[in-house]
Amino acid sequence: MNVKRTELLKALKQCLPGIENGNSVLEGADLFVFSNGYVHSYNDVISVSVPVKSEGLLSGGIEGAVRAEEFYGIINKFNGDLIEFIVADDKWILKSGKAKAELTLMAGDFSERFEKITPEKKKWLEISPEFTQGLGICRMSNNKNAISGLFVTSKDIVSSDGFQINYFKYKGADFENFWISDASAGELLKVGVLTHIQLKGTWAHFKTADNTTFSIKTLQAEKWPYEKILEVLNAHKKTKISVAATFPKELFDAIDRASSFYLDISDSKAVRLSISPKRIMVSAERIAGKFEERVAWKDEPPQFSTFELYVDINMILFAARRSMSFYIHEVEGNAPRMIFTTENSTHLMATLSIDDTEKTEAQKPEKKPVKAEKAETKKENEVKKETVKPEKKKSNVPAMYEEPTEEEQAEAVRENLDSQKRRSKKNKVDEDDELDTFPTEDEEDEDDPDMGDEEEIEDDD
């Protein structure tokens, strides 16, 4: 039989999130399983089932399991669009031009695991396209907080790292609350717009218009502080005295330029914003130099007294990709907070505080070279490293709610790691592949600013 290479390769790419290579403790996690007109993958955290559209494979009733790395690799590297597919007793023979490959069929009934978690045909719930948008808006990369990930209810999606809160409301469906990791959500977003959802046991199943099923093992939703997060959001609603305006887009280009001279405040890379009704001044300085830029308002803001904010660069660029409209919420005893809003979303962001005794790098006296003293022996250095412990500094980003104790955080992290430890290690996709591939996070951001993640600012110092 002849199989269209492009169609088969597209299905395999969609299955990659469920593939795990290397020293997997789960037998079969490194396999593509063909069964009942679908190609499946499963690694105990993510499972993907993609309908096989190639007429050759469908008409031949292909059944079997092959090693994903080798099968994907040879399909990707074959020339031409037609592959001759020959089924033997214990192997598949693939031919393309003068090239020939043999794939050994793996023993075992791996289809059983898919049958155990397969969603029920009549219990799918339809969801609006806004649901997919909400996942993209709320997902945060590099979130190390114990409650990292997305908490999803039948009407909203929420996430937080303790210093930011993302909230998105949508027209939902009637299902129970669940919690998924940021990593799993990132893979889910690559399959496109989701049309249906179904919860079954510890799995959340999603379906697309082309009938692809993407399943994610959920975390312990009862441990996510949903009510506490909503209380914080409700306490930060706009009032009559709130300073509210819409930032010009040019501001965020200025912030990006200022990032080369970022202020080192606690663990944050920050810039200073001096905001007045006339203009916004962006500035930063280091020993190496300083930067400032005036940005004019596009729409004339209401009259207010000039104020100054120190903002984490990654946080405000993350917020800017979601909305330009904001208001300021004053917090007694803490630095003000910025709230960015759209019709469906809210992004609450803490600003930084600088104590009178704390100085930025540019304000600190320049270090002078010290004359070399008698060198310590290697042994003395090693003893010093073992005995001297770095002092843990308190962050100057005021948290928005009381965080769990260290023991509670450690327990939550352990539980999440146990659930996620077999994350899939992706096969490398040939960069020169002429076929359509899933966009990278950066490419997704260019197409849709609502589907992006935080930008990481590199250290130029």
d(CA 320, CA 248): 10
Q: Which residues contact 47 (CB under 8 A, 6 or more apart)?
A: 18, 40, 41, 114, 117, 203, 213, 214, 215
How many CB atoms lie under 10 A from the CB of residue 370?
6
d(CA 398, CA 231): 17
Q: Are residues 244 and 347 in the same domain?
A: yes
Q: What is the largest CA-CA distance in the chain?
A: 81
Q: Are residues 65 and 184 in the same domain?
A: no
**Are 255 and 317 a contacting pair, CB within 8 Å?**
yes
Q: Are residues 184 and 220 in the same domain?
A: yes
Q: Which long-range contacts (CB under 8 A, 24 or more apart) does 98-102 make?
A: 101/74
Q: How many residues does the chain have?
A: 461
Q: Find, among 262, 308, 252, 253, the residue nearest to 285 by Cα.
A: 262
In-domain check, residue 161: no
165-184 pLDDT tens trace: 999 999 878 899 999 999 99
**Are 96 and 56 a contacting pair, CB within 8 Å?**
no
Helix (H) / strand (E) containing 325: strand 325-329
**Identity of the residue numbered 456:** E
* pLDDT higher than threshold 70 for residue 190: yes
d(CA 284, CA 259): 8
Domain extent for 174: 124-145+169-232+415-451
DSSP state of 120: P
Three-state SS at 113: helix
d(CA 183, CA 429): 19
Q: Are residues 356 and 243 in the same domain?
A: yes
The share of the chain scoring above pLDDT 90, in percent, equals: 58
pLDDT of residue 436: 38
In-domain check, residue 377: no
In-domain check, residue 400: no
How many CB atoms lie under 10 A from the CB of residue 444?
19
Q: Are residues 54 and 80 in the same domain?
A: yes
Q: Are residues 12 and 87 in the same domain?
A: yes
d(CA 73, CA 21): 13
Q: Are residues 295 and 312 in the same domain?
A: yes
The predicted model scores a pTM of 0.78
Mean pLDDT of the chain: 81
d(CA 64, CA 34): 5
d(CA 361, CA 352): 16
323-365 pLDDT tens trace: 999 999 988 778 899 999 999 999 999 999 876 334 455 555 4
Q: Are residues 113 and 128 in the same domain?
A: no
* pLDDT higher than threshold 90 for residue 229: yes
Which residues pair with residue 178 across a beta bridge? 152
Q: Find, among 17, 135, 7, the residue nearest to 423 by Cα.
A: 17
In-domain check, residue 370: no
Q: Per the structure block, which two tokens stand in for 280?
A: 């916004």
What average pLDDT does range 73-102 have in this prediction? Answer: 92
What average pLDDT does range 367-395 have in this prediction? Answer: 44
Q: Find, among 415, 348, 341, 356, the residue nearest to 165 by Cα.
A: 348
pLDDT of residue 25: 65
Q: Per the structure block, which two tokens stand in for 118?
A: 């397969």
In-domain check, residue 393: no
pLDDT of residue 80: 84
250-288 pLDDT tens trace: 999 999 999 999 999 988 999 999 999 999 999 999 999
Chain centroid to CA 333:
32
Three-state SS at 320: helix
Q: Are residues 278 and 215 in the same domain?
A: no
Q: Are residues 138 and 81 in the same domain?
A: no
In-domain check, residue 160: no
d(CA 384, CA 390): 12
CATH of the domain at 359: 3.10.150.10
Alpha-carbon distance values, 331 to 252, 311, 350, 400, 440 (Å): 25, 15, 10, 10, 38
Q: Which residues contact 23 (CB under 8 A, 6 or more apart)?
A: none
* pLDDT higher than threshold 90 for residue 448: no
Strands (E), 201-312: 203-208, 213-217, 243-246, 263-265, 268-275, 279-286, 289-296, 307-312
Please identify which residue in the block is written with the tokens 């079954």.
Answer: 200
d(CA 393, CA 396): 9
* pLDDT higher than threshold 90 for residue 55: no
Q: Are residues 285 and 187 in the same domain?
A: no
* pLDDT higher than threshold 50 for residue 367: no
pLDDT of residue 400: 60
pLDDT of residue 52: 85
pLDDT of residue 409: 56
CATH of the domain at 447: 3.10.150
